[in-house]
Structure 1
Amino acid sequence: MKFATWTKPDGRVESGVVSDDGLHAFSDGMTVLDAVKLGVAEAITLGTQTASTSRPVPIADVRLRPPLVPPAVRDFAAFEEHVLGALQSVTNRTEVPPEWYEAPAFYFTNPHALIGAFDDVPVPPGCEVLDFELEVAAVVTGTGASVSTDAAAELLFGYTIFNDWSARDIQAREMVVGLGPTKSKDSSSTLGPWLVTRDELEHRLDDAGFLALECSVSVNGDPIGADLLSNMAWTFPELVAHASRGTVVRSGDVLGSGTCGNGGSLAELWGVRGDDALPPLAIGDIVEMTVEGLGTIRNRVVPGPANTAAPPARRRIPPLPRKHAERQQTRT
């Protein structure tokens, strides 16, 4: 079953299920996150009832929003091919660090910056090298802490397409600091077009537990990259289990797969082929991504807000005198 959230022409936001006839809204203002909290079986029952009792709205008549508002968004780097190419491009490293193979790495990105499947994406302030990232995201149902991989499989509600838009020039500067990407990643991330429950894709699981889904991306109609989701280094249950280690994952948490290889981002191609392989995204470019069983997202690049960068840091090496601090300590 597919769950979606949309804005009607009158500005009302609704959530519900997707059928061949269109979109069927939940009653009583229920959200997709509410449905996710029910678990897969109960959500499907609710969706079936909703589709049979709610009058459909044509998809063409609404603006699709991100399927849900997640409590947290973790984005992994689970494709070795992408990691190698992107590192070469962004940091000039020529090999994948051995630490990458030891455990799935991720960073937290901005749940407030999600945009819909067909929304425009503004260029981040100060960015001159904009890139896309072709990913699939899993959504958690229930609560789990330090769960096993087997238990984590039961915490998977479903999947959606995820495009982690990246300001590569800003990222290159940030990575030198050693804290990972921050402002280079938090301006926009596309999530959509809907959330597909895991049962619809179980027939595409291979013997090792990987989802063998075809993924592709184009810019202005020109094919750029294509990969199989099953080329991930870890399965989604393994990613959920790792995310829960020593902490908690909750209903609605989004876990990105990381960017597919074989042209899932421009940065990978820049690293492998050289900087002149393809230009960065420009105003007016249309990026389209399709994942088998999940649908298609399509976003146009538009001008963004003016850059209001933070001022340079005040230097404090050598340290300032500490007499004031010592007096304060004596008084207390």
Structure 2
Amino acid sequence: MKFCTFSHPARGTMRPGVLTSDGAVIVDLGDAFPEMLSILKGGEAAMARVRDLHAKAEIRVPLSEAALHAPVPVPEQIRDSMLFEKHVQQAMEQIARMRHPVLGPWLVKLGMVKVAPAWYRMPIYYKSNRFSVIGPDGDVIWPRYSQVMDFELELGFFLGKKGKDIQPSEARDHIFGFTVFNDFSARDAQSIEMRSMLGPCKGKDFDTGNSMGPFLVTTDEIGDPYNLRMQARVNGETWCDSNSSTIHHKFEDLLARVSADETVHPGEFFGSGTVGDGCGLEHGRYLKDGDVVELEVEKIGVLRNRVVRQK
């Protein structure tokens, strides 16, 4: 199933919905569930109710007439990680070139800029601001303290089941579904923070900095999450055309790592980190005022946002 949070002039406030099988109509679930989180937390009983409404509900809205928001407007938690080796390697190489304009290119050419051994030992992650989430076609407001804005093409998942000390073999049972994630980044602020041995902080945490959507697609409809085409376009120009198969650390290993001696809850979100070639940093190119970023992941859809400088 493909879930969403939408609004429509005839229905008023934001409401949870699920697409019909042809993808053209949203079944309004708002009279049964106040928000998407209530479905994620409701377990099998909630899903049984959704399936019944999917077949029988009378309130249906054409997708073309609805405004889509982030599938879960305020997640219970946001954790983002770095699971793709190519991104980590290329980002480190580009940072070396920027910080050391003369020596950096030579270090990269000689193969002396390498991913830290610790990265290979375990999935690493940080926590982001769960209140700064926007959805499809929402404007990303460029923070005033930054001059260098970037996007990041990611795949993410929401939990639908509580757990602790989850084994990798059990992890898939805890995942409700997947969505597209754009972790917008103020690269200049992030660079300073990371040199200070703590962060990221304001490099990531600003209003509208986390974009998700357009749909939250259940695991059964996704099938294999490690065989999804992932693309990024800026103003229609393709900057990235990759695949989730290039992932190094699997989602199951990430969830096992996070849940070690720590309870995780339905409604929490986990980002994959950027796929290789999936951000401007790796290309040495960044966003400009008014740029439109489109991230597309197979079986989920296109997450589109415009970057806007404050006047």
Q: Secondary structure at the match of 1:248?
A: coil
8 Å contact 2:154–2:180 — kept in the other structure? yes
1:42 is displaced (CA, Å) by 4.3
Q: Does residue 283 in structure 1 map to residue 289 in structure 2?
A: yes
8 Å contact 2:69–2:134 — kept in the other structure? yes
Equivalent residue number for residue 323 of structure 1: none
8 Å contact 2:33–2:39 — kept in the other structure? no
1:77-92 correspondence runs (5 A): 77-90=82-95
For 1:46 and 1:267, locate their aligned partners in 2 and report how far apart those are by CA, in whole Å. Answer: 45
For 1:104 and 1:220, locate their aligned partners in 2 and report how far apart those are by CA, in whole Å. Answer: 33
Equivalent residue number for residue 110 of structure 2: none
Measured on the aligned residues, the alpha-carbon RMSD in Å equals 1.7
Equivalent residue number for residue 262 of structure 2: 247
8 Å contact 1:90–1:168 — kept in the other structure? no
1:297 to 296, 303, 311: 303
1:150-165 correspondence runs (5 A): 150-165=169-184
* Equivalent position amino acid for 2:61 in 1: V
Equivalent residue number for residue 219 of structure 2: 198
2:234 to 195, 215, 219: 219
Deviations 1:181-214 (A, max 9, x none): 1111122111101110000122xx2xxxx52000
* Equivalent position amino acid for 1:31 in 2: E
1:96 to 115, 139, 158: 115
For 1:215 and 1:225, locate their aligned partners in 2 and report how far apart those are by CA, in whole Å. Answer: 8
8 Å contact 1:16–1:31 — kept in the other structure? no
Equivalent residue number for residue 143 of structure 1: 162
Q: Secondary structure at the match of 2:137?
A: coil
Bigger Cα displacement from structure 2, 58-67 vs 122-131: 58-67
Equivalent residue number for residue 318 of structure 1: none
Q: Does residue 230 in structure 1 map to residue 233 in structure 2?
A: no
For 1:185 and 1:193, locate their aligned partners in 2 and report how far apart those are by CA, in whole Å. Answer: 21
Q: Secondary structure at the match of 2:60?
A: coil
Deviations 1:216-254 (A, max 9, x none): 000000000011112111221111111111211100110
Equivalent residue number for residue 269 of structure 1: 283
- TM-score of the superposed pair, with normalisation by structure 2: 0.88
Equivalent residue number for residue 24 of structure 1: 27
1:44 is displaced (CA, Å) by 4.0
* Equivalent position amino acid for 1:14 in 2: R
8 Å contact 2:155–2:181 — kept in the other structure? yes
8 Å contact 1:65–1:192 — kept in the other structure? yes
For 1:290 and 1:67, locate their aligned partners in 2 and report how far apart those are by CA, in whole Å. Answer: 16
Equivalent residue number for residue 168 of structure 1: 187
For 1:82 and 1:246, locate their aligned partners in 2 and report how far apart those are by CA, in whole Å. Answer: 29
Q: Does residue 47 in structure 1 map to residue 50 in structure 2?
A: yes
* Equivalent position amino acid for 2:76 in 1: P
Percent of aligned pairs with the same amino acid: 35
Count how many residue pairs are aligned between Structure 1 and Structure 2: 289
Q: Does residue 60 in structure 1 map to residue 64 in structure 2?
A: yes
For 2:192 and 2:93, locate their aligned partners in 1 and report how far apart those are by CA, in whole Å. Answer: 14
Q: Secondary structure at the match of 1:57?
A: strand
